[in-house]
Amino acid sequence: MNSEFELIRYNRRLPARIEIRQGAIETPYHWHKEIELVYVLDGALEITVNNAAQTLRVNEFRLINSVENHSLSAENVKCLILDISYEFATRFDKTLYSSVFKVVSGSGAEEELRNLLWQLSRTTDESELPDLRQYGLITDLLHVLFVQCRHENPGAVKKGENIQSRHVKLAIEYIEQHYREHFTENSVADQLGVQPVYLARRFKEATGKTFTKYILEFRLARSMDALVNKGMSIDDAAKAGGFPSKRTFVAKCKQAYGVTPFQLKKQQQSGDAPLMHLTPK
């Protein structure tokens, strides 16, 4: 089964994406770097993780580790989907790559996580400082995962021949930490101690994008976030995304989306074309 790579855009001010999905859901088999938790509020949801399917019902949840393949399917469901930044999680422990999270059914950890997810699902209706409340619940969730659900899994970062390629994960991590700097595919390959042709092939297999296209989309997402959500000038937004100049930012945006950054900002603010749903040409 083919698996697509998803580049997730986080909620404003949060190291995560929080969504309440309602109605029919049909997501293709995919993967991403983020740690995902899916919690059912109403109805039933079929979830497949690494080719193993299960049905989640009301008040049940499923943890999906970073880079695990998964899909969701439901005719009518209401659920919370939380995607936590893997980069944010590694700030608390740089050795996270050698671990995996497992939630034991019926354990105290399962009950704690369920309660936190239920609380998180209710924050979308809060009128005062919902981001602050959500941030606190996200860190509480991570604390439970780190303290009660973490297990050593050395094999998870040693597979170089599949979608969980250690080198691809490290390359993405490098991009997320250094996107404001100038670097090339060759220089990153050198940092990882692999041949550029090897990294290029593995990166395209895992993400469905070339190294260059991935960097462009990542930088555009950061610049547009700065322009739309943080109120920066176009010059500052260009710098925030790692573009050398305003001119380059505008040109790359037009090349990718067919419109200027300001036109894209206007579309997003009007709700005509939310940035998270845009796909570059």
* Chain segment 17-46, per-residue pLDDT in tens: 999 999 999 999 988 889 999 999 999 999
82's CB contacts (< 8 A; 6+ apart) are 16, 17, 18, 19, 36, 37, 38, 39, 117, 120, 138, 141
Tokens found for residue 131 = 């981001």
pLDDT tens string 203-244: 988 888 899 999 999 999 899 988 988 889 999 999 999 999
pLDDT at 195 over 60: yes
The phi and psi torsions of 149 (rounded to 5 degrees) equal -120, 5
Q: How confident is the model at residue 160 (pLDDT cuts 50, 70, 90)?
A: very low
Q: What is the pLDDT of residue 25?
A: 96
The tokens 């322009």 sit on which residue?
227
d(CA 183, CA 196): 13
pLDDT at 163 over 70: no
d(CA 120, CA 47): 21
Q: What is the pLDDT of residue 68?
A: 87
Q: What is the pLDDT of residue 2?
A: 63
Q: What is the pLDDT of residue 4?
A: 75
pLDDT tens string 59-79: 999 999 988 889 999 999 999
Helix (H/G/I), strand (E/B), else coil: 2: coil
pTM for the full predicted model: 0.67
CB–CB of 203/210 below 8 Å? yes
The CA-based angle 183-184-185, given to 5 degrees, is 135
Q: How confident is the model at residue 173 (pLDDT cuts 50, 70, 90)?
A: confident
Q: How confident is the model at residue 47 (pLDDT cuts 50, 70, 90)?
A: very high
Q: Mean pLDDT, the chain, as a whole number?
A: 86
| Higher-confidence position of 233 and 3 | 233
The CA-based angle 185-69-91, given to 5 degrees, is 60
Q: In whole angstroms, how large is the CA radius of gyration of the chain?
A: 19
CB–CB of 136/129 below 8 Å? no
Q: What is the pLDDT of residue 161?
A: 39
